[in-house]
Chain A
Amino acid sequence: MVFHPRDPAYRRSLTRRDFLRRSLATGVALPSAAAILAACGPGGPGGGAGTGNTPEVRFGTPDKPVELQLFEDNAAIASELEPEAGPLVIYNWENYTWKQVLKDFGKEFGVEVKYETFYNLEEAVAKIQTGEVTFDVFFPTMDVLPKLVAAKLAQPLNHDYIPNLSNIWPSLQDPFYDLGSRYSVPYTIYHTGFGWRTDLLPLEVEEVAAMSNPYDIFWEHGPVGKTAVYDVPRDALAMAMYHLEGSAADPNTVDPAKIEAAKNALIELDDRVGLEVNIDIAYVQIPEGRMALSQSWSGDMLATPWYAADPAAEAGSFRYYWPARDGFGGVIDNDLYAILKGAKNPVLAHHFLNFMLDNFNAMKNFSWVGYQAPLSALDPADVIANGWPGLEGYFSWEYKGHWDNLLPAVVTDQDLEVATRFHGLPLAEETLWTNAFAEFRAGAS
């Protein structure tokens, strides 16, 4: 290779000894890099709580309700503070709160409200754990809440700011997973049944109710390529359990044999009809006609007329059924509000919770989201049939006439008496469910 005298490579080629000397120096420097890494240790900057001082995660059950622990270094805010200037940041599922209601709150308190979304609860929790978020209000499920509490990521609530708490069903003011509502307030309540459209699956609710086990509808009538279950391990496997064992099934079981049987039932169904496994199956894919029969949370099905291309024509063919009412067993669940420890606007967040627990605002949210808050003053069936004073003109109520066949999707407090509640499981037991579901999700081929 001929180098031009001015080419730096020419000069470089004469200094191989320099190169060797320099690389030796790097070699010396490397061990110190290893020392730095060692100092990071197994806990690491992002790691867990180190050796043995982990606060316990308290999962309550309806038989053994639980008080979530309070920590000294995670105290609630003082009372009678002035609300901050905002903006208030809500971190929620997509399409789970009506923006109109957020705007109303913003107007009342003169603040801006931002709505950040996630589509995966674990991802959301992972982001919260990094500590780099400034979300104010979060919407966990009841099995995530105790973990947030143990990790001191949620702050205790100061009930002085939330007088509307008394609007809630008495049974939910003191829920088994959070006695005294120390950290959470119920957001929505829903049961897990199934929905279908009669133009693609011509069955009426009475016929389904007359079956020996209505959950069999999936295995006996599920159309090929148009049947769906939720992409949620507990919900999907629990439904298979109800199909196999009827009302005796325990959706919180930790018996590996039962979980295995449920998994096999789902796999068998999948082989035959090619199940769609997703989150939007009920409120998007049924109205779009892509699915005929789908597992459905009650709120999802109630929202379907809004998502249909031609609600007037199609909403009449949507149906919902929750087998527990007729004694076949079923699950009720509720989502929660929690205020994150890192919230920049905790006072505003408390006011937001109170605002959303107001009867009118909750009904306004319900009218768009389809998921109802468990409020005593509400008779949702009456509301759906007759409207709610002051809510005329909101577009969901335009579909008043189209909701009659979806009345079963309304949750009443009597439903709580026949339902089984999901409750959170410790990691080892939860892993049984997630492993089984992962095998189901691998597909049979």
Chain B
Amino acid sequence: MSLAREVPVGATTAIRASWFRGFISNPWAKPRFLAGFTWLYIIWSIAPVVIAVQISFNAGRSRSSFQGFSLQWYQGIFDRASENFDATLLAALGQSLKLAVITMPIATILGVGLAIGLARWRGRGSGSANALMLFPLVTPELVMGTALFLIFANLFDTFVKLGTTAQVLGHVTFSLSYVVIVTRGRLFAIGREYEEAAMDLGASPGQALRRILLPLLAPAIFASLFIVFAISIDDFVISAFLCIEGCTTIPIKIYSAARNAGNPSLNALASIMLVSSLMAITFAVLILRAFNRRQGNTRSAVEDFARLEI
């Protein structure tokens, strides 16, 4: 059947009418509506971020209206002599980064181990171990925060004091599941052939793991590191519950300022975190892209990241 037909005279109207009918009957065929919808969503999604950054440069003290451009709030974070100087802001920034940096390796190592162990688990109990691993993902943070506070305040108080250590332990617990999920995707994609081939060629399981599997997993491990970073710096509930003194993080400061009078210095802090997170994710994507290129994979690293098929 040929799709090319003779167009009779006077058919332009007919063609236009049929296009119109086609549009009405299936508006989703033309992606214009979807495109518009998606861009509207993106604007709605990003607008508050842009506004928050804009306010961080506010010359006045208001958090809702822009009163002129000034760097005073950034100065208030770093510059001791500035009249807006608040030492607790820099302390909060430091604490957030400290928690994130300590949590990253611990969560990643435990999580990768857990993912590999779960994938290779053959016995009974793998189902419940799997469920156990997924539970922190869906447990409301409020529940975990209260529970951890009670445990650290009552049971473990001889070993672990509330504060930074407790916060790290809480963050790791919370992030484990994310690491496992990310690593698992990659594990399934890799399959067992490489390890088995290595063992056929005489490697011990441990060597196969170290020298074959882990390098293959490297992109997932990197991605996990950055995901844990993002989770940790944005965590509010668990950090707040497990903090007594000297361990205030940026989200805690933002929340307490929301319930009292804040000023744009918190916007400045959040903007700094935004930039550092952006840099971290860019770094991660670049590394992923380097890996992809080395393996001849032509897909975009960002796409892989979004699909968690790292």
**In the complex, is A directly touching B at CB under 8 Å?**
yes
Q: Which residues of A contact B (CB under 8 A)?
A: 1, 4, 6-9, 12-13, 19, 44-46, 89, 91, 93-95, 99, 114-117, 119, 126-127, 130-135, 278-280, 283-284, 288, 307, 309
Please name 19 further chain A to chain B contacts, defined as beta carbons within 8 Å, in addition to the given A45-B154, A46-B154, sorted by A numbering: A1-B122, A4-B200, A6-B203, A6-B204, A7-B205, A12-B122, A13-B122, A45-B155, A89-B245, A94-B256, A117-B256, A130-B153, A130-B244, A132-B157, A133-B245, A279-B259, A280-B259, A283-B261, A288-B62
Asked if B299 is an interface residue, CB under 8 A from chain A, the answer is no
Please name all residues of chain A whose beta carbon is closer than 8 Å to the beta carbon of B120 when the two chains form the complex: 9
| Bound form: Cα–Cα A283–B261 in Å | 8
Q: Is the CB of A46 within 8 A of B153?
A: yes
Please name all residues of chain A whose beta carbon is closer than 8 Å to the beta carbon of B205 when the two chains form the complex: 6-8
Please name all residues of chain B whose beta carbon is closer than 8 Å to the beta carbon of A13 when the two chains form the complex: 122-123
Q: Is the CB of B123 within 8 A of A135?
A: no
Q: Is the CB of B196 within 8 A of A4?
A: yes
Please name all residues of chain B whose beta carbon is closer than 8 Å to the beta carbon of A119 when the two chains form the complex: 256, 259-260
Minimum C-beta distance from B17 to chain A (A): 51
Given contacts A130-B162, A132-B244, contact A284 B157 (CB under 8 A): no
Q: Is the CB of A280 within 8 A of B260?
A: yes
- Which of A6, A45, A309 is within 8 Å of B157, CB to CB? A45
Q: Report how many A-B pairs have Cβ atoms within 8 Å.
A: 81
Q: Which residues of B contact A (CB under 8 A)?
A: 60-62, 64-65, 67, 86, 88, 120, 122-123, 153-155, 157-158, 161-163, 196, 199-200, 203-205, 208, 244-246, 248, 256-257, 259-261
Minimum C-beta distance from A120 to chain B (A): 9
Please name all residues of chain A whose beta carbon is closer than 8 Å to the beta carbon of B161 when the two chains form the complex: 132
Please name all residues of chain A whose beta carbon is closer than 8 Å to the beta carbon of B260 when the two chains form the complex: 93-95, 119, 279-280, 284
Q: Is the CB of A9 within 8 A of B61?
A: no
Minimum C-beta distance from A392 to chain B (A): 17
Please name all residues of chain A whose beta carbon is closer than 8 Å to the beta carbon of B259 when the two chains form the complex: 94, 119, 278-280
Please name all residues of chain A whose beta carbon is closer than 8 Å to the beta carbon of B155 when the two chains form the complex: 45
List 3 A-B pairs, minimum CB-CB distance, nearest first. Answer: A46-B154, A94-B260, A309-B62
Minimum C-beta distance from A124 to chain B (A): 10
Please name all residues of chain B whose beta carbon is closer than 8 Å to the beta carbon of A4 when the two chains form the complex: 196, 199-200
| Bound form: Cα–Cα A283–B262 in Å | 11
| Bound form: Cα–Cα A288–B61 in Å | 11
Please name all residues of chain A whose beta carbon is closer than 8 Å to the beta carbon of B60 when the two chains form the complex: 309
CB nearest to A96 among chain B residues:
B260
7 pairs from A and B in contact (CB 8 Å cutoff): A6-B203, A7-B205, A45-B154, A46-B153, A93-B260, A127-B244, A133-B245
| Bound form: Cα–Cα A352–B161 in Å | 28
Please name all residues of chain B whose beta carbon is closer than 8 Å to the beta carbon of A114 when the two chains form the complex: 246
Minimum C-beta distance from B87 to chain A (A): 8
| Bound form: Cα–Cα A45–B64 in Å | 48
Minimum C-beta distance from A116 to chain B (A): 5
| Bound form: Cα–Cα A114–B245 in Å | 10
Q: Is the CB of A135 within 8 A of B261?
A: no
| Bound form: Cα–Cα A127–B153 in Å | 9
Please name all residues of chain A whose beta carbon is closer than 8 Å to the beta carbon of B162 when the two chains form the complex: 127, 130, 132
| Bound form: Cα–Cα A121–B77 in Å | 28
Please name all residues of chain A whose beta carbon is closer than 8 Å to the beta carbon of B246 when the two chains form the complex: 114, 116
Q: Is the CB of A134 within 8 A of B245?
A: yes
Minimum C-beta distance from B142 to chain A (A): 14
- Which of A44, A115, A135, A307 is within 8 Å of B154, CB to CB? A44
